[in-house]
Structure 1
Amino acid sequence: MPHDSQILAANQMRDAEQALIDAGASVDALMQVAGRGAAEWVWRMAGHRRVTVLCGPGNNGGDGYVLAEAIRERGGHARVVAAAEPATDACRKARALFGGEVLGPDADATGDVLVDCLFGTGLTRPLSAEHAELLNRLAAAHQRLVAVDLPSGVQSDSGMLLNERLPVYDLTIALGAWKFAHFLMPASARMGRLQRVPIGVGAVPGAALAIAKPQVQAPTADAHKYRRGLLAVVGGAMPGAAVLAGIAAQRAGAGYVKLFAESKRNVPADLVVDQGHLSDVLVDDRNTAVLVGPGLGRDGTARERLAVALADAVPVVIDADALVLLAPRHLAERDAAVIATPHEGELVALERAFDLDGAGTRPERALALAAASGMVVVAKGPDTVVAAPDGRIACAARASPWLSTAGTGDVLAGVIASRVATGRDAFDAACEGVWLHGEAARLCPPAFTAGQLAEAVPLALAECL
């Protein structure tokens, strides 16, 4: 696992830092690496403009003193506002090494860039009224805001805001490893651009992953459409959604996409439609994956189609209406992988179906459902999480908010189904699909439609070759 992609919970981060110390690194040395690494990113933003660093009493504050000194050594203008006196030896030493101006919390400090080093990973209670007022007052007096490790007032593992009113940042600099809050709402929406400073943390067994750009191989010289994967898409009462999913799937790597539907009306000429009996379509031993759910409906016919789709001995992607109809009995006899792609409402319905209480953070909920159902779960939304039954977990970076339009979920289902049809492991296919979906959105103009999103998928795929 690449070290630069792991996401650590607060306790994992503490253990990882302790492992570095046990191996011979001092807290002071780690603080120098973290603070000076963060200073590189602040310098790129601030240059010679006025920088105010808000330092708390702990080691996050110590990082701030180091950062301020690094800016000062470069010839920049950096001063510190100390919210409280240092409370750790490392913070006290970092303050002693800072050669610039240290102001008290009552100072009327203004400037161009505010760097928040008040509190970082591990905060579990709201900021005091005094600290919250100080942070917001300084934020209002500066043009640009930077958070070091995490914005103060954010819960690291859940992404929850511990205070009602917190600033919105332009840049957040993770120290050592990503934290869940960098990817989870509502905190992630306030963090701006994300950067990471390595401090030597090694691979942590069982750590979550940040979904990164996949590496995709072009078809081999002797490839043909069946070797690249045949995806069967099951249509239903609202055929447009399945057509849209099929169009997206065609553009995400599968060599052959076949839509089971009752009509060819409004279907592109290059999307094959089979109007035969569904059971006949799904006994085709050339199928490598099945997608069921977009536009399926929820009547008796829809239930029958879901059951037939799940009877196919290939990986199945379940989306939309099919998620509401799904019950544990449908999965009892399955050996091949199942990928579920619920939004929040569908996630709640699945939790009820599998007798889960829905408690915990978003990653914990996704993992619990994956373990209970045996499915790979793509809990989609502004903070998409992918979980596997074996405990693997991955989080996606913030995607374009323009994805909040009808049909983009159908596109995601089609892209994921296409990737699994090519032969990818279900968890990897889900992560690849989420990345391609987000990148396609980035490449689209504002206010794009789901159709435009599907058309942009090949451009996203091209970046992975």
Structure 2
Amino acid sequence: MKADRDHILGQVLDVAAMRAAEAALIDGGTPAQALMETAGRALGEWARRLGAGRPVTVLCGPGNNGGDGYVAARHLMEHGVAVTVIAARQPMTPEATAARALFAGEVGAPGAFPHGSLLLDCLFGSGLSRPLPDDVFFLLTGLAERHTLRIAADLPSGIEADSGAVLNPGLPACDVTVALGAWKHAHFAMPAAPLMGALRLVDIGVAAVPAAARVLGKPRIAPPAPDAHKYKRGLLGIVAGAMPGAALLSAEAAQRSGAGYVKLLAPSRPEGVPPSLVCDVTDLAALSDPRMAAILVGPGLGRSADAEARLAAALDADRPVVIDADALVLLRPESPGTAPRILTPHEGEMAALEAAFGLIATGTRRARAAALAEAAQAIVLLKGPDSLIAAPGGDVIVSPRASAWLSVAGSGDVLAGIIASRLAVHGDAFLAAHEGLWLHGEAARRCGPAFTAGDLAAATGYALSAALP
């Protein structure tokens, strides 16, 4: 039962789905006021704990987000915390009006600018779609400057929930954002995500929503079976190209990510190949080995006629394949092969793929990734500070913010090697993308600041250990 609830709490809802989920709770017999009590008291408790009992200012808007703020203020008062409530606008919903009536303290006018330890932003939640009015924006920023800590109720005010757009330039960053009922896409999407601070979630009983996106979670990776050998664990072929250093980085990461046998497929042995890595100079003939479980093509491939031929050979082998880097620019809808594919573009490669597949590059990143996944019939891992995974049919996984130190040359080659290794282990493309993205982020976390791609590849085995039972 707990596992089911944990799965539900990992879902990410758009505004329409969140409203429908709340309506379903109310139709099922939970009064709207009871939902507000649950959310507001949880907000108040977060403010009490983070503020360590010090004074709190609660900034309330006119809707139910403001109603949550009045409940939070009442909770704080009941626990002996000094509370100042400021109403940017008067309540306009029945629930917010009722919550305001139950708050026994004074409510200040928008002109007040008290100093305090903690500001609780309950102005506007996930329904906001236009910029804050000038007077409200001035009030919010002025109060933010006068408080040491800032907590946002559901979302920082001035953020569009579905896209992650920042509707008012210059919005203050929060220290903590407490999501109410379910995660929203803006919690993980740029440019809003850096304004969120630490993310926390309040469970109000929302049920599972079909086809909802999910947050990337720690995978459960099984160790090799007692009777395992190198081929049972998975043979991975990595096609080297004009710049073999990138493929070597991928291979180093792949060796530490679970595959039993990693072969670098190159026409000659490049410099720097470690003794532990097999370099098959019979080259692409090895792709026909029936034991070949998966192929990685793209890192350091180049874009020459020879690179096109090497990509075609990798796809002709019709094995599960990870297509990365230069190979993404060379890929076409008519490219051969029917085996499972994982595409790992960054933004520039994504634009090239959209052009090749006749797609219009509009909408959110998740909508674009989903459109490409459908057109290419492949798993798409769209890389960036807000990486996400999309599958044909609509499954989407969004990633929490990983270390910004991942923005280093070779990081993508390491990620491709990890994913390809996991694909060689079990052959499930969506699962391999999930495992690879999580392991990549965990390896970065273990590296600390200012690491190289080589450091990242070396840390992959330690990341893998964190996902074992």
Work out whether the TM-score is over 0.5: yes
Following the alignment from structure 2 to structure 1, what is the Cα–Cα distance between the partners of residues 283 and 199?
A: 50
Residue in 1 aligned with 2:412?
409
Q: Are 1:346 and 2:352 an aligned pair?
A: no
Question: 1:390, CA displacement in angstroms?
Answer: 1.8
Q: Which residue of 2 aligns with 1:11?
A: 16
Aligned mates of 2:211, 2:367 — CA distance in 1: 13
* Per-residue CA distance 1:343-374 (angstroms, 9 max, x = gap): 00000110000001111101000000101111
Indicate the residue corresponding to 2:394 in structure 1: 391
1:270 aligns with 2:282: no
Which moves more between the two structures, 75-84 or 372-381? Answer: 75-84
Contact 1:232 1:257 (8 Å CA) reproduced = yes
Tell me, what secondary structure is at the counterpart of 2:338?
coil
SS at match of 2:397: strand
Distance in 1 of aligned mates of 2:48 and 2:420: 44
2:444 is aligned to 441
SS of the residue corresponding to residue 226 of structure 1 reads: helix
Aligned partner letter, 2:288: V
The answer to whether the Cα contact below 8 Å between 1:224 and 1:255 also exists between their aligned partners in 2 is: yes
1:176 aligns with: 181
Which residue identity lines up with residue 440 of structure 2 in the other structure?
A: H
Alignment map for 1:62-461 (pairs within 5 Å): 62-261=67-266, 262-278=268-284, 280-331=285-336, 334-461=337-464
Q: Percent identity?
A: 56
Identify the residue that residue 33 of structure 2 maps to in structure 1: 28
Q: CA deviation at 1:216?
A: 0.8
Post-superposition Cα deviations, 1:157-203, rounded to whole Å, max 9, x if no partner, equal: 11111111101111111111100001100000111110100000010
Listed one character per residue, the Cα deviations across residues 195-242 of structure 1 (whole Å, up to 9, x for unaligned) are 100000010000001000001111111111111111100000000000
**Contact 2:188/2:398 (<8 A) preserved:** yes
Unaligned runs of 5+ in 1: none
Letter in 2 for 1:432: E
Q: CA deviation at 1:445?
A: 2.1
Is this contact kept in 1: 2:161–2:184, CA < 8 A?
A: yes
Q: Which amino acid aligns with 1:380?
A: K
Q: Alpha-carbon deviations, 1:72-108, whole Å to 9, x = none?
A: 2122222211101100110011111122332111012
Residue 61 of structure 2 corresponds to which residue in structure 1? Answer: 56
Instruction: State the alpha-carbon separation in 1 of the partners of residues 240 and 410 from structure 2.
Output: 15
**TM-score, structure 1 length as denominator?**
0.98
TM-score (norm 2): 0.97
Tell me the secondary structure at the aligned position of residue 95 of structure 1. Answer: helix
Task: For 1:287, give the aligned amino acid.
Answer: M
> Could you give the per-residue CA deviations for residues 389-445 of structure 1, whole angstroms, max 9, x where no partner exists?
121011000010001110000011011111111114211110111111011111112
Name the amino acid aligned to 1:436.
L
Structure 1 CA distance, aligned partners of 2:70 and 2:413?
49
Superposed displacement of residue 277, structure 1? 3.3
Distance 1:159 1:287 in 2: 42
Q: Distance in 2 between matches of 1:369 and 1:114?
A: 42
Distance 1:442 1:325 in 2: 33
Rate the CA distance shift 1:424–1:63 in 2: closer, same or farther, 3 A. farther
After superposing the two structures, state which structure 1 stretch, 36-45 or 51-60, moved more.
36-45
Size of the aligned set, in residue pairs, is: 462
Describe the superposition over 1:93-139 as per-residue Cα deviations: whole angstroms up to 9, x where unpaired: 11111223321110121101111110001111111111111110010
Most deviating of 322-331 and 172-181: 322-331
Q: Secondary structure at the match of 2:105?
A: coil
Q: Distance in 2 between matches of 1:213 and 1:408?
A: 20
Task: Note if contact 1:366-1:386 (Cα within 8 Å) is conserved in structure 2.
Answer: yes
> Would you say the 8 A contact 1:419–1:432 is kept in 2?
yes
Root-mean-square deviation over aligned CA pairs: 1.0
Do the aligned residues in 2 keep the contact of 1:175 with 1:196 (CA within 8 Å)?
yes
Q: Contact 2:126 / 2:160 at 8 angstroms: preserved in 1? A: yes
One-letter code aligned to 2:29: G
Q: Distance in 2 between matches of 1:397 and 1:42?
A: 23
3-state SS of 2:232 partner: coil
Shift of 1:4: 1.1
CA distance in 1, matches of 2:274, 2:370: 38
> What's the CA shift for 1:453?
0.7
Distance 1:310 1:44 in 2: 56
Cα pair 2:11 2:214 within 8 Å, conserved: yes
| 1:48, distance to aligned residue in structure 2 (A) | 1.1
Contact 1:112–1:142 at 8 Å: present in 2 too?
Answer: yes
**Structure 1 contact 294–410 (Cα < 8 Å) conserved:** yes
Asked whether the 8 Å contact 2:36–2:68 carries over to 1, the reply is yes
Alpha-carbon distance between aligned partners in 2 of 1:272 and 1:425, rounded to the nearest angstrom: 25
Contact 1:47-1:76 within 8 A present in 2 as well: no
Query: What residue ranges of structure 2 are gaps of 5+ in the alignment?
Result: none
Question: 1:330 aligns to what SS in structure 2?
Answer: coil
Judge conservation of contact 2:158–2:171 (CA < 8 Å) in 1.
yes
